[in-house]
Amino acid sequence: MSAPTNTLPPSEIFAKPAFSWSEFWALIDLPESTGEELVREPNPPRFFMLGRRRYIRKADALAWIDAKAKSAPYIPRTNNRKG
């Protein structure tokens, strides 16, 4: 999908009850192509269709982000040897 022509600042996007496909991936700073891969994995974000457009409710988006954070925490490597 192409980028929306009427881009809003993140604060205005986050105030909405639902995000469009493009808005959601832009908010979390991921390319839409990565989003296409993520929705094909187990436990994808819960998007819904309005006409031909995909949307996600803010509550569902935050729940998915929290689940991803719990399932794949970042733990720095301690065995990294430099120089």
Quick check: 23 and 4 in contact, CB under 8 A?
yes
Task: State which residues form the domain around 65.
Answer: 10-71
The reply to whether 3 falls in a domain is no
How many domains are contained in the chain?
1
Q: Which domain CATH number covers 60?
A: 1.10.1660
Which of the four pLDDT bands, split at 50, 70 and 90, describes residue 6? low
Question: Global pTM?
Answer: 0.71
DSSP string, 11-59: HHHHTSSEEEHHHHHHHTT--HHHHHHHTTSSS---EEEETTEEEEEHH
pLDDT in tens, 14-58: 788 899 999 999 889 999 999 999 999 988 999 999 999 999 999
